[in-house]
Amino acid sequence: MPPERTTHPSTRLAHLGLGAFHRAHQAWYTHRANAAAEGEDWGIATFTGRRPDTATALAAQGGVYTLLERDADGDRATLVESIVAAHDGGDAVTWQAVLAAPEVAVLTVTITEAGYRGAAPARIAAGLAARRRAGAGPLAVVACDNLRGNGRLLRAAVLEAATAADPEGADWIREQVSFVDTVVDRITPATTDADRRAVHALTGWHDAMPVVAEPFSEWVLAGRFPAGRPGWELAGARFVDDLEPFEQRKLWLLNAAHSLLAYAGRLRGHETVDAAFADPALRDRVERLWEEQRAVIDLPAADLDSAASALRLRFANPRIRHSLEQIGRDGTFKLAPRVLDPLERRRAAGLADGAEQLRVLADWVEYVRRFGPTDAPASTLETAPPGAGAAMAVLAAAAGADGVGPPRGATP
Ligand SMILES: NC(=O)c1ccc[n+]([C@@H]2O[C@H](COP(=O)([O-])OP(=O)(O)OC[C@H]3O[C@@H](n4cnc5c(N)ncnc54)[C@H](O)[C@@H]3O)[C@@H](O)[C@H]2O)c1
Ligand SMILES: O=P(O)(O)OC[C@@H](O)[C@@H](O)[C@H](O)[C@H](O)CO
């Protein structure tokens, strides 16, 4: 039996993309914000992005689950109570009913980088059309995927889908819906059976849906919340006017290094981030990549030094078994914001292309040739010549190919 809930928040948030990260991040911030302030009462109706299984399993235990914060020395378990309903994202009737409820003020989204080009934007547009028909008022949509200008990218994709369905509906979205850009950070690997056993040993509960994450967490947000929001700042979130330096720091240091470790690491036989980062040759390469990338990040050197120091410890955490295979998926949608963007910024600043930047792109080509593509545009790399050139061609062709705009920073 799941533990008894101590709180029963009402449904005032919706989420699309019920995965590990949503449970380790947005749901945890909401849980802590509710706990930190008297009268805070924000519950989440969460929807899966593609398959129903996660929703079925979470609903079977009343939405509660264990977050295991795992550092190098041990585990700390928290029962997270902010999710009040979990639904199959394919259930269009419930999806539209939740978004049409006036009490629902915010929709958060984690649909992966590739998801911005799939069916999810049309699903969001359909939910917003239901809200408009119900006269339920404005809403904030908060994009939480690893993309620069994620809110602006999502807005463009949703508006494109809405315009195709009903131009008046698109006008309503322009007037009533705010798309919030965010930087999200918390290393959250896919949960394993060993993690479930660890949760049982620690709590005595057979939790089918625990999630394991590092203790570190960051959420920086820029945008309006026209219908209100939880007091996420009470849980450590920051609200800023200019997100760009935070995006650069996160994507160009952490995520770019992750991609390097994923492609070069698996090619050298490693399976997890900590193992790849313990390989001296790869660690040197990460340090050199950071030097190339940080040269074009708009933050003081001291901030970048402390971010890099923290990353060295975070990547080395031997108890977070973060799969390189998971990180290496969908390179077409990840490498532009992580590596091509800063490479272009170096060019704009009159600097030479970084040797490590080019090498990560070349590694991706080699990786696809060895392990096969995980996204459609990358399939051309299977027969491409070695080197960064073919990678750059794939990234350039994918940029804007679907009218949504480049997969990295977009214009408003
Ligand atoms: N895991 C992390 O460490 C982490 C950290 C920061 C940000 N993120 C962001 O969160 C995203 C999800 O990560 P996760 O760990 O929760 O993964 P996950 O595999 O546990 O869950 C992914 C969720 O996204 C949905 N989804 C997948 N592809 C989709 C698509 N094409 N369209 C719509 N929905 C889709 C899935 O159905 C699922 O609900 C990442 O892609 C990334 O952008 C993850
Ligand atoms: O989640 P993805 O697939 O965008 O990328 C894999 C990792 O690089 C990423 O999840 C990081 O762990 C995360 O961004 C840390 O905050």
- Judged by its nearest atom, the ligand closest to the C-alpha of residue 337 is 2
Predicted complex ipTM: 0.98
Q: Which of 294, 289, 313, 315 is nearest to 304 (CA)?
A: 294
C-alpha 173/C-alpha 163 separation (Å) is 10
- pLDDT recorded at residue 100: 98
CA of 353 to the centre of ligand 1 (A): 31
**How does residue 409 score in pLDDT terms, banded at 50, 70 and 90?**
very low
- pLDDT recorded at residue 367: 98
pLDDT digits (tens, 9 = 90+) for 75-97: 999 999 999 999 999 999 999 99
CA of 189 to the centre of ligand 1 (A): 11
CA of 36 to the centre of ligand 1 (A): 27
Q: In angstroms, what CA-CA distances link 81 with 22, 406, 408? A: 13, 37, 34
CA of 139 to the centre of ligand 1 (A): 22
**How does residue 191 score in pLDDT terms, banded at 50, 70 and 90?**
very high
Q: Which two three-digit tokens encode residue 91?
A: 């259930």
In this structure, the residues whose C-beta lies within 6 A of any atom of ligand 2 are 113, 146, 185-187, 254-255, 258, 327
- pLDDT recorded at residue 1: 83
C-alpha 331/C-alpha 270 separation (Å) is 18
CA of 289 to the centre of ligand 1 (A): 26
C-alpha 262/C-alpha 277 separation (Å) is 10
Q: Which two three-digit tokens encode residue 411?
A: 């214009």
pLDDT digits (tens, 9 = 90+) for 353-362: 999 999 999 9
pLDDT digits (tens, 9 = 90+) for 232-248: 999 999 999 999 999 99
Q: Mutation test of ligand 1: which of 95, 108, 112 has the most ligand atoms closer than 8 Å to its C-beta?
A: 112
Res 402 pLDDT > 70: no
pLDDT digits (tens, 9 = 90+) for 293-341: 999 999 999 999 999 999 999 999 999 999 999 999 999 999 999 999 9
Q: Which of 369, 279, 305, 290 is nearest to 331 (CA)?
A: 369
Q: Which atom of ligand 1 is nearest to the CA of 23?
A: 16
Q: Which atom of ligand 1 is nearest to the CA of 189?
A: 1
Taking only Cα atoms into account, the Rg of the chain, rounded to an integer number of angstroms, comes to 21
Q: Which atom of ligand 2 is nearest to the CA of 322?
A: 12
Q: Which atom of ligand 2 is nearest to the CA of 259?
A: 8
Res 110 pLDDT > 70: yes
Q: Which residues contact 169 (CB under 8 A, 6 or more apart)?
A: 125, 128, 129, 132, 162
Q: Which atom of ligand 1 is nearest to the CA of 22?
A: 16
Q: Which two three-digit tokens encode residue 191?
A: 């949960």
Q: Which atom of ligand 1 is nearest to the CA of 186?
A: 5
- pLDDT recorded at residue 407: 41
- pLDDT recorded at residue 399: 82
Give ∠ CA 331-277-319 in degrees, rounded to 5. Answer: 100
- pLDDT recorded at residue 126: 98
CB atoms within 10 A of CB 4: 8
pLDDT digits (tens, 9 = 90+) for 19-46: 999 999 999 999 999 999 988 899 999 9
In this structure, the residues whose C-beta lies within 6 A of any atom of ligand 1 are 17-22, 48-51, 110-115, 118, 120, 145-146, 184, 186-188
- pLDDT recorded at residue 370: 98
- pLDDT recorded at residue 403: 40
Res 405 pLDDT > 70: no
CA of 267 to the centre of ligand 2 (A): 19
pLDDT digits (tens, 9 = 90+) for 144-164: 999 999 999 999 999 999 999
| Paired strand residues for 109 | 16, 143
- Domain ranges for the chain: 11-239, 244-398
- pLDDT recorded at residue 410: 35
C-alpha 412/C-alpha 404 separation (Å) is 11
C-alpha 46/C-alpha 104 separation (Å) is 12
* Beta strand pairing call for 218-222 and 177-185: antiparallel
- pLDDT recorded at residue 400: 64
What is the average pLDDT score of the chain? Answer: 95
CA of 49 to the centre of ligand 1 (A): 8
Q: How many whole angstroms from its chain centre is CA 173?
A: 23
Average pLDDT of the segment spanning 41-54 = 96
Share of the chain above pLDDT 90, in %: 94
Fold of 11-239: Rossmann fold (3.40.50)
Share of the chain above pLDDT 70, in %: 97
Architecture of the structural domain at 244-398: Orthogonal Bundle (1.10)
Give φ, ψ of 183 to 5 degrees: -110, 125
Angle between the 167-176 and 120-134 helix axes, to the nearest 10 degrees?
80
CA of 5 to the centre of ligand 2 (A): 31
C-alpha 354/C-alpha 269 separation (Å) is 25
pLDDT digits (tens, 9 = 90+) for 258-281: 999 999 999 999 999 999 999 999
**How does residue 411 score in pLDDT terms, banded at 50, 70 and 90?**
very low
